[in-house]
Amino acid sequence: MPLLPFLALSAALAVLSPSAALAATPAAKASSAPVAGVDYELIEGGAAYQPVPGKVEVVEVFGYTCPHCAHFEPAFSAWKARQAKDVSVVMVAAPFGGRWMPYARAFYTAQRLGVATQTHAAMFRALHEDGSLPLGNATAEEIATFYAARGVDTARFLATFNGADVAADLQRAHEFIARSGVDGTPQLVVNGKYRVIGGESNADRLRIVDRLVAQERAARRPATQTKR
């Protein structure tokens, strides 16, 4: 899949703090129902990436080399920490080709080794802040050094990185991205049904996700409950 540009989001709006975005957004907009074609696009034939019974799935499709993803990560991480137990947040590293591939492979390797959560933010810092990892096509050995500094055995990392399980993870991610119509990062997909397209800031986009989650949560309530 070719690398495509990030969905429209100006640099000026991207640096808005959540509090500034909240101040700029009318209360009516924050509480309104999400609008198809404005806030989200309905995914025809969509399906959740990793469905969990009784939970609403929110997927972030991201790339470690994407600067917009690096900027979005703290806001998304804080949003994730606030979610109720019936929300399943899933990260999908985009295998868009080129320099994206080794880092997508690294993410799925870290998942397989159980270290993805504790190394996720550090990977963004290594690429976009301190430059300890190259933004270009990194080698497996360069990436392994990053994980070794965080307690991961290099031989085990490289074996997993080059293994069939991670190759299958990459293919699964590719299929989800194609099925969901994702053409940039960071991209948010709710329950495999809604691709978020609206929002003038990170806070706006996450409010749209909140409303879609609430909509999905209400839709699965038994009819007897909804009548009360």
DSSP letter string over 51-86?
A: --TT-EEEEEEE-TT-HHHHHHHHHHHHHHHT--TT
pLDDT over 90, % of the chain:
81
First to last CA, the chain: 48
| pLDDT recorded at residue 54 | 95
Residue type, 84: A
Which is more confidently placed, 226 or 125? Answer: 125
Residue 163 CA neighbour count, 13 Å, CB half: 15
Identify the burial level of 40 via C-beta atoms within 10 angstroms of its C-beta, where 0-12 means exposed, 13-18 middle and 19 or more buried: buried
- At residue 31, the pLDDT reads 56
CA–CA distance, 57 with 193 (Å, rounded to integer): 10
Question: Residue 32: which pLDDT band, with cuts at 50, 70 and 90?
Answer: confident
Q: How far apart are CA 110 and CA 179, in angstroms?
A: 25
CA distance 215 to 166: 34
What pLDDT is stored for residue 120 in this prediction? Answer: 98
Q: What per-residue confidence (pLDDT) applies to 220?
A: 82
Q: Token match 């990185």: residue? A: 161
Write down the pTM of the prediction: 0.83
| pLDDT for res 160 | 98
**Amino acid 89: pLDDT:** 98
Domains defined for the chain, CATH in brackets: 45-193 (3.40.30.10)
3-class DSSP state of 2? coil
Q: 3-class DSSP state for residue 222? A: coil
Other Cβ atoms within 10 Å of 83 Cβ, number: 15
Which of 24-28, 177-181, 212-216 bottoms out in mean pLDDT, i.e. has the lowest? 24-28
Residue 117 burial class via C-beta count within 10 angstroms: exposed 0-12, middle 13-18, buried 19 and up: exposed
89: tokens are 């947040």
Residue 16 has pLDDT above 60, yes or no: no
DSSP lists the bridge partners of residue 59 as 90, 189
